Structure 1
Amino acid sequence: MGYPRKLTRRFRAFDNFAISFTIINIIAGIFSSFGFGMAAGGPRILIFGWIGVSIMVLFVGASMGEIASAYPTSGALYFSAGKLAKRHRGAWSWYTGWLNFVGQVGGTAATGYAAATFIQAFIAMQWTDYEVTAQRTVGITAVILLLQALANTYTVQLIALLNRISVWWLFIGMVVIVICLTVIPDHHQSVSFVTHFENNTGFSNGIYGAMLGLLVTSWTFTGFDGSFHMSEETVQATVNAPKGIMRSIAYSAGIGLILMLALVYAIRDYAAEASSAAPPVQILIDALGMGTAKLLLLIVIGAMLFCGLANMTSNTRQIFAFSRDGAMPGSRWWHSVSPRTRTPVKAVWLAAACSIILVLPGWWSHTAFTAIVSVNVVGLFLAYGVPIFLRLRLGDEFESGPWNLGRYGKVVGTVAVTWIVLSSVLFMLPQVSPITTTSFNYAPIALGVVLLIATVWWFATARKRFQGPVSYGRPDEVAAMDLI
């Protein structure tokens, strides 16, 4: 790919799969957004929306996997955009990188915010006089992000080990939760309950409310580009990276559907549970009792913390690679690697700081979580869509890697790009009515600010010096510079 190697190649096939599977994290994704789905479409959208969106995400993942096989680098999306563009390579690469950056930061921030919310729910269950506040949620989120940054500061072997543990935590945790929700309650909803529809978004148009409910599944299925970003640290990356992407999506889709069904059928008092501070927690309490609910909530919190850790790992690799090509302010800082741990330590702390900034509106906004989620979904999926679109424009000129879609590549890519455009527009729209200063979806502002800065910077100076991914020389010259 034209780079001297700085990162150690210690990720095996399972490790590469594990990071995307952990970032997708069905337990964290479903539990953190289930309450929003109860208001925006109800069981009908939670179940059938999960199935439909999962299929669309598989199309996106397959197209991304084909590109990952051809360009297995930490730069991932922005690198491949620069290589696939016929003209204006620097611009395509520049904007893809910035979209990827803001989406990654949104994912890290949203996962930390969700974990903080559920930690407070657990504390309130344990000590009834504890008062849950937005300010405390922001404070706990900041502590979580700082601890995850510390973990990412150490060796890649530690992160790989924690990701392996997280996979089993998710599998075993999901089995325990599903069995408890299936066996313990003395009452379940009827089979036809999956068709029950609710629209409590405040909007009179039921179709619009239902479409907003798709955010539940879309938010869960973000971050599978983690396998792509870890390519430079993965053995046989041209095959293992795309396999990691596809396996993480497919396994998450199947297992997540089972968990979603278990939660939906365990609902008892729909109105009371949907209006509670943490709807899935209230479902656990009503169906299983306080003691069992506390135990399962610890599993959920652990899954969220693992998810945030993997999110930050992927985020830092994107920052490292983008800075390596001089595309971020202070690039020489962010692409430096610790000589002791061989990890991009400064990039880790930049990721943590940016995530903390993004959660600050949660101090006063009660729609902060869904806004951060929208930043994550829209930023990432637009970054996913750009190289897929450019690959479609190349047509037969695209030089595929050993893992490819063959003659189906164009069809799969077209479906992927169409879904990305439609979903991105949807999730930038208002999500709650009436629209006030505290309920406003500030995702368009957050994305707009980043893109405005990127645009001003591009036309001011960057277009003169940034021409896309840098090449350090021929393969033999790069090998002579190899640092490991």
Structure 2
Amino acid sequence: MVLQRYINLSSVVNFGVIILASWESFAVTFQFALANGGSSSMLYGSILAGFGVCAIGFSLAELASIPTVGAQYRWSANFAPFAPRFWGLVQGWLTVAAWCFTCGGPPSILANLITSLAIFNNESYVPQRWHTCLIMIATMLVPLIFNLWFRKVLDAIEITGGILHIILFVVFVIVLIVFGPRSSPEFVFETLISDVSGWNNEGVSWGLGLLTITFSLTGFDSVLHMSDEVKKVHTRVPRSIILACTVNSLMLFVFVIVLLFYMGPLDAIADAPLPLIYVLYGATGSKSATNTLVALVAVVIFCALFNIFASVSRLIWCFAKDKGLPFSHTFAYVHPTLKLPLNALILVGCIVTALSLIFLASTTAFNALISLQAFALHISYFLPVLFILIRRLRGPPPLYGPFKLGAWGIPLNVFGLCYLTYVVLWMPFPQLLPVNKDNMNYSGPIFAVVIIGALADWCINGRKRFAMPVRRYSRDVEDW
């Protein structure tokens, strides 16, 4: 059974833009860059990351003009210069694992927002692990239920989230500029912090600080996995990716500059669980205004969670349909009435619940799993761009859809690959020294486990089970 095409132009554009929510993501995580790199890493890192993400996004948008829900793994399978089924299966495991761990990101951010606001309004409150666990599960249930039974309402949620994404950005910029204490240009453009985290090396600190920026711009491929439900998919999905990358990169750059100029003294926010709260409070002097603005940021991130659930469930469904997963028949099931991959969606809900329970047992283990998301997603972008570049250089030229990079194809592919290589090199580094079991960065070892698992699956029966994806191109004028 095929999925129903119901997503219109405004919804698919908002889908891609909201799921990144880059300036909001940075606003609630920039504390990690305060110890490594500081303002230099934030400002110049936002420029580098903006161009890098656009290069990768444009490269994938070209591929997306011949759309497929499987996206990265099907492209790798079709464009790999050798062993296409092997690369397809390994890429599939990598992309599915990355997005499954990504599902735990927004609930954990929302839990941090809620508990931080509780501390801000009641200093005697001490959050417990089980509080965070329950908040994560609660914030997961609403998107899960809406994806199951109120799917048509998602269009309205995406439009609302997109409007709020823009309006809230303007409000934050105005509030900070009008009411915030102004920092010196030297602090914004010339300050490089390298003596707080323990690394004591400017190059390493700058690279580690860059990761906060790159995290905020990761995930633009989510709309690709909704391809079977988008009307006029061959043109609308590439446009959504391009707008998601360019709009979010530009908004993030502007927000970073404004934040650095008007964030106030670092001593007042450096040790806060969520510095954004105290930046806003320092600017407005009003707890009510601060609570309202932070709550609205939470609403945008909450809207993104609706989209993540939809996207990841479709990715799992497609990979299962190609027999890339164990129990593929179960997860490839499409409910005849709901017209959605029911079992795959329930699996996503179970994964978020499991991650929440892991947090209850060990915050270190939970953070280790969540830290894998950006690492694995960046690598999942690398292989299809590399393979399409090799195809360009060797020939014959690949079959393109309506969107083509033309002469810009090779330069964008090369720059994007160089950017990914540079960013991925820093991702396994621990943020703090000396390293102990609590601050160790476990993303590298966990990523190795995912790769070993994929190779083991290939050796055991994956090479026999995995059905080579065959692309089917529709020449129907309405589709194009």
Is it true that 1:410 corresponds to 2:445 in the alignment? no
Q: Which deviations, in whole Å up to 9, do the C-alpha atoms of 1:380-413 show, x marking residues without a partner?
A: 1111111111111212321111101012212211
TM-score under structure 2 length normalisation: 0.92
2-structure distance, mates of 1:432, 1:263: 24
Maintained 8 Å contact 1:100/1:383:
yes
- Match 2:187 to one of 171, 190, 193: 193
Q: CA shift at 1:365, angstroms?
A: 5.7
Q: CA shift at 1:41, angstroms?
A: 0.9
Gaps of 5+ in 2: 476-480
Alignment of 1:48-447 (within 5 A): 48-70=44-66, 72-185=67-180, 187-195=181-189, 196-199=191-194, 200-289=196-285, 290-358=287-355, 360-363=357-360, 371-372=368-369, 374-395=371-392, 396-397=395-396, 398-447=398-447
2-structure distance, mates of 1:367, 1:29: 21
- Match 1:42 to one of 38, 45, 50: 38
Evaluate the alpha carbon distance shift between residue 367 and residue 205 of structure 1 in structure 2; reply closer, same or farther with a 3 A threshold.
Answer: farther
2-structure distance, mates of 1:431, 1:369: 16
1-structure distance, mates of 2:87, 2:457: 14
2-structure distance, mates of 1:188, 1:160: 40
Question: What's the secondary structure of 1:8's corresponding residue?
Answer: coil
2-structure distance, mates of 1:65, 1:463: 29
Maintained 8 Å contact 2:12/2:230:
yes
2-structure distance, mates of 1:321, 1:83: 16
2-structure distance, mates of 1:118, 1:312: 20
Q: CA shift at 1:286, angstroms?
A: 1.9
Alignment of 1:11-26 (within 5 A): 11-26=7-22
Return the letter of the residue paired with 2:421. V
Q: Which deviations, in whole Å up to 9, do the C-alpha atoms of 1:198-245 show, x marking residues without a partner?
A: 232221212101101111111111111122112211122121111110
Evaluate the alpha carbon distance shift between residue 437 and residue 365 of structure 1 in structure 2; reply closer, same or farther with a 3 A threshold.
Answer: farther
2-structure distance, mates of 1:121, 1:26: 20
Q: Which deviations, in whole Å up to 9, do the C-alpha atoms of 1:283-341 show, x marking residues without a partner?
A: 12222222211111111111221122222221111111111111112211212122222
Structure 2 counterpart of 1:482: none
Return the letter of the residue paired with 2:182. H
2-structure distance, mates of 1:423, 1:356: 30
Evaluate the alpha carbon distance shift between residue 475 and residue 270 of structure 1 in structure 2; reply closer, same or farther with a 3 A threshold.
Answer: closer
2-structure distance, mates of 1:357, 1:14: 34
Return the letter of the residue paired with 2:407. R
Maintained 8 Å contact 1:91/1:468:
no
Maintained 8 Å contact 2:50/2:250:
no
1-structure distance, mates of 2:137, 2:444: 23
Between 1:380-389 and 1:366-375, the stretch displaced more is: 366-375
1-structure distance, mates of 2:356, 2:46: 27
2-structure distance, mates of 1:138, 1:339: 34
Return the letter of the residue paired with 1:43. S
Return the letter of the residue paired with 1:260. V
Return the letter of the residue paired with 2:348. A
Structure 1 counterpart of 2:478: none
Evaluate the alpha carbon distance shift between residue 451 and residue 357 of structure 1 in structure 2; reply closer, same or farther with a 3 A threshold.
Answer: farther
Evaluate the alpha carbon distance shift between residue 83 and residue 156 of structure 1 in structure 2; reply closer, same or farther with a 3 A threshold.
Answer: farther
Is it true that 1:448 corresponds to 2:448 in the alignment? yes
RMSD, aligned CA: 2.1
Maintained 8 Å contact 2:358/2:366:
no
2-structure distance, mates of 1:445, 1:360: 21
TM-score under structure 1 length normalisation: 0.91
Q: CA shift at 1:362, angstroms?
A: 3.7
Q: CA shift at 1:142, angstroms?
A: 2.3
Maintained 8 Å contact 1:8/1:342:
yes
Maintained 8 Å contact 1:359/1:368:
no
2-structure distance, mates of 1:108, 1:166: 18
Maintained 8 Å contact 1:268/1:286:
yes
Structure 2 counterpart of 1:481: none
2-structure distance, mates of 1:468, 1:475: 19
Question: What's the secondary structure of 2:65's corresponding residue?
Answer: helix
Q: CA shift at 1:193, angstroms?
A: 2.3
2-structure distance, mates of 1:229, 1:245: 12
Gaps of 5+ in 1: 477-484
Q: CA shift at 1:155, angstroms?
A: 4.6
1-structure distance, mates of 2:173, 2:27: 13
1-structure distance, mates of 2:77, 2:401: 17
Is it true that 1:463 corresponds to 2:463 in the alignment? yes
Structure 1 counterpart of 2:4: 8
2-structure distance, mates of 1:354, 1:287: 39
Question: What's the secondary structure of 2:220's corresponding residue?
Answer: coil
